[in-house]
Amino acid sequence: MAIILQESLRAAFYAPFYAALVRGAYGDAGVEVRFTSAPSPSEAATSLLAGAADVCWGGPMRVMATYQADPGCDLVCFAEVVTRDPFLLIGRTPNPEFRMADLRTARLGSVSEVPTPWLCLQHDLREAGVAPESISRVADRGMAENCAALRDGTLDVVQVFEPFASTLLAEGAGHLWYAAAARGPTSYTTFYARRDVLAARRDEFLRMVRGVQATQRWLAGASGAEIAATVAAYFPAVPQPILAAAYDRYQALGIWGRNPILPRAGYERLRASLVSGGFVAPGAPFAQAVDNSLAEAVLAEQPPT
């Protein structure tokens, strides 16, 4: 019986997941995987709990949010893929010496599609001594709308992921101010599943993690153009040069992990951001929400080169 794998959102930074499907990594590992999409990012975890999927990829944020709403739930993260924050601040004018304090005098368009980018950025602001509530922020528009507002001058800086960033840079309509990946590990995307499903189908999930690790090894040596060509079918509206530039940037920023271990430091950084933003309290502990045993088993089979 195939494992039903659900994406939570279509995004370029999920390239390793799409590449694993395109390259047949799961079949090579001896497991059949059927791909589906969640109705919306906010419904991904509830859809999984309802049995519409066996495993989902998405943020540990979703797992912590589910524990916040239902402390008795049994979701668990495994096989981290996106290990750093993929969001960027793109400003209308150059600002090569950017500091968080610069946002006090800027009109910022933050991400509205999902909560994690702003929750992480507001924690960066707090750590820099800037009160998030002091920022002039447009919080209720999508990234495409915010990019249009940057172009027409009604916003000074926008928070976006790729390929919005590379599009603005290629047009000369924006300049890179800040890459959130620079803060260091922040667990952004993993597989997650119910513990009982993980236990019942452990061998199949172990094979999935082998497929992930094989894809991570390929990705480590791939150029942006190679990644873009591999996953192009998932982003038909994005010109290949823009997608390639986006992936070159993500490679340089190190947003993808080299192995499927979900590190405690990255999880705790994310948890601290969610807590400081009032999203969860106190947030699910690492031991409750993370199971690295499958990733550890795969690495024991295939030690890093």
- pLDDT on residue 298: 96
Top-level CATH class of 3-84+185-301?
A: alpha beta
- pLDDT on residue 96: 96
What is the residue-averaged pLDDT of the chain?
Answer: 96
Domain map (residue ranges) of the chain = 3-84+185-301, 88-183
**CA-CA distances (angstroms) from residue 171 to 88, 159, 167, 248, 292?**
16, 17, 6, 17, 42
Express each pLDDT in 1-23 by its tens digit: 899 999 999 999 999 999 999 99
Express each pLDDT in 203-241 by its tens digit: 999 999 999 999 999 999 999 999 999 999 999 999 999
The neighbouring-strand residues paired with 247 are none
CATH code of the region 88-183 = 3.40.190.10
pTM over 0.85: yes
- Dihedral pair phi/psi, residue 56, rounded to 5°: -125, 150
Percent of the chain with pLDDT over 70: 99
Express each pLDDT in 165-206 by its tens digit: 999 999 999 999 999 999 999 999 999 999 999 999 999 999
**CA-CA distances (angstroms) from residue 32 to 107, 204, 208?**
48, 8, 9
pLDDT-derived band at 304, boundaries 50, 70, 90: low
